[in-house]
């Protein structure tokens, strides 16, 4: 209550002073009516209206933050409440015959108040539109956030599927090739086992950054799942994609990631595979890419067996 009064001190004080001034002017110029001459129905109507406007004013000031819109609406409500107040006083005080100034005091604040409220409502509408635009932007951001991987700054599998669908349509329209490269870390489970999940997370983040650095601005890198990344390469044929895949594989092999706890260098290897889009759905293309990766992993198995 205290902070409410402090916040709107000038508005409320202005209204009380104006009401008081009106009362004194009427008392100075007129005469109090006898009880029997008071029309109570008018008092009820005019006084009730004034109280309702005052209630609206309090509700407005409590509900809204301070600012231009609140100021305009509050000033409008004050003018209208003042106008009703002067009307109520009229019921209790006789003013000299032929006096015109009381008409001005009673009636002039009403249109001024309505005008101020009209401006206030116009700006309120604009404010609402700006808030709605902002909310819908935030909502879109939130919705799209769910399409991003929690660990790396990359798109998720769902995001990849969406983008792939669009890229396939675009490549068909522009008659340009489109290729995918998959990069899957070898034996990543062993890193988790040996250094722990948190270290594994750091490795995935470092690899994501490294792959991004080695891709072109038009390429899109997503994390499909676990230690598997997919790069979508627009306008790229199979030969160029294979070359890029080799570069990415070399980059991973030469990554000098040091473990957090002992500063030990982790040696990483990745398997890569490439698929150029034919006339197929995103699912068919991803299936073909995964098969190519499985074949690449199979080729690696004998080497692993020899090493162990
Ligand atoms: N640290 C960490 N590990 C993850 C995350 N997501 C999946 N993994 C782990 O990644 C590992 C993936 O295991 P696999 O699919 O067998 O892959 P791999 O060990 O690299 O084996 P190959 O691919 O056959 O060489 C599992 O141990 C998962 O628990 C993650 O967000 N953070």
pTM recorded for the entire structure: 0.59
CA of residue 90 to ligand 1 center, whole Å: 85
Q: Considering only CA atoms, which residue is closest to atom 8 of ligand 1?
A: 226
The token duo for 255 is 């990554």
Contact 144, 261 (CB under 8 A): no
pLDDT of residue 10: 83
Q: How far is the CA of 208 from the centre of ligand 1 (A)?
A: 14
Regarding the beta carbon of 294 and ligand 1, being less than 6 Å apart is answered no
Residue ranges of domains in the chain = 2-143, 157-307
Ligand 1 within 6 A of CB of 273: no
Residue environment code for 118-149, b if the CB has 16+ CB neighbours within 10 A, otherwise e:
ebbeebbeeeeeeeeeeeeeeeeeeeeeebbb
Q: Is 204 in the pocket of ligand 1 (CB under 6 A)?
A: yes
Torsion of CA 136, 142, 147, 148, to 10 degrees: 130
Q: Please, is 2 exposed, middle or buried when counting C-beta atoms within 10 Å of its C-beta (0-12, 13-18, 19+)?
A: exposed
Query: What is the distance between the alpha carbons of residues 156 and 171, in angstroms, rounded to a whole number?
Result: 22
| Probe target for ligand 1 pocket from 152, 182, 189, with the most ligand atoms within 8 Å of CB | 189
**Rounded CA separation 160/230 (Å):** 8
Q: Is 189 in the pocket of ligand 1 (CB under 6 A)?
A: yes
Distance CA 82, CA 105 (A): 9
Which of 271, 274, 261 lies closest to 301, judged by CA? 271
Query: If you measure from the C-alpha of residue 183 to the centroid of ligand 1, how many angstroms do you get, rounded to a whole number?
Result: 13
Nearest Cα residue to atom 18 of ligand 1: 187
Please tell me the residue having the least CA distance from ligand 1 atom 16.
189
From first CA to last CA, the distance across the chain in angstroms is: 76
Query: Is any ligand 1 atom within 6 A of the Cβ of residue 240?
Result: no
Distance of CA 39 to the CA centre of its chain: 57
**pLDDT at residue 164, rounded to an integer:** 95
ipTM of the complex: 0.95
Which atom of ligand 1 approaches the CA of 150 most closely? 31
CATH number corresponding to 157-307? 3.30.70.270
pLDDT at 202: 93
Cβ atoms within 10 Å, residue 223? 25
Distance 186 CA to ligand 1 centre (A): 9
Q: Residue 297 in contact with residue 184, Cβ under 8 Å?
A: yes
pLDDT < 50: residue spans in the chain:
306-308
Alpha helices in the chain (DSSP H): 2-7, 9-29, 40-63, 68-92, 101-107, 109-145, 157-174, 188-195, 197-214, 238-253, 282-307
CA of 227 to the centre of ligand 1 (A): 5
Site to substitute for ligand 1 among 186, 200, 305, most atoms within 8 A of C-beta: 200
């Amino acid at each position: 209550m205290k902070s409410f009064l402090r916040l709107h001190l000038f508005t409320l004080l202005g209204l009380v002073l104006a009401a008081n001034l009106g009362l004194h002017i009427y008392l100075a110029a007129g005469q109090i009516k006898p009880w029997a001459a008071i029309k109570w129905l008018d008092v009820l109507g005019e006084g009730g209206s004034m109280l309702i406007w005052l209630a609206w004013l309090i509700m407005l000031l409590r509900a809204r933050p301070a600012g231009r819109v609140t100021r305009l609406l509050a000033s409008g409500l004050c003018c209208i409440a003042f106008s009703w107040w002067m009307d109520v006083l009229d019921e209790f005080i006789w003013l000299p015959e032929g006096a015109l100034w009381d008409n001005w005091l009673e009636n002039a604040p009403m249109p001024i108040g309505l005008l101020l409220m009209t401006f206030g409502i116009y700006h309120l509408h604009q404010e609402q539109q700006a808030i709605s635009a902002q909310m819908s932007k935030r909502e879109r951001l939130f919705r799209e956030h769910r399409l991003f991987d929690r660990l790396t700054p990359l798109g998720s599998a769902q995001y990849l599927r969406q983008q792939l669908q669009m890229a396939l349509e675009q490549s068909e329209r522009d008659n340009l090739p489109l290729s995918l490269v998959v990069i899957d870390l070898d034996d990543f489970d062993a890193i988790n086992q040996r250094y722990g999940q948190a270290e594994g997370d750091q490795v995935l983040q470092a690899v994501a950054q490294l792959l991004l650095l080695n891709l072109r601005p038009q390429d899109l890198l997503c994390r499909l799942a676990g230690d598997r990344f997919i790069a979508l390469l627009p306008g790229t044929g199979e030969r160029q994609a294979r070359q890029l895949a080799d570069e990415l594989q070399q980059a991973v092999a030469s990554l000098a990631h040091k473990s957090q706890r002992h500063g030990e260098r982790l040696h990483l290897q990745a398997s890569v595979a490439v698929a150029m889009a034919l006339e197929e759905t995103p699912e068919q293309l991803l299936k073909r890419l995964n098969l190519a990766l499985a074949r690449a992993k199979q080729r690696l198995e004998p080497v692993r067996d020899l090493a162990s």
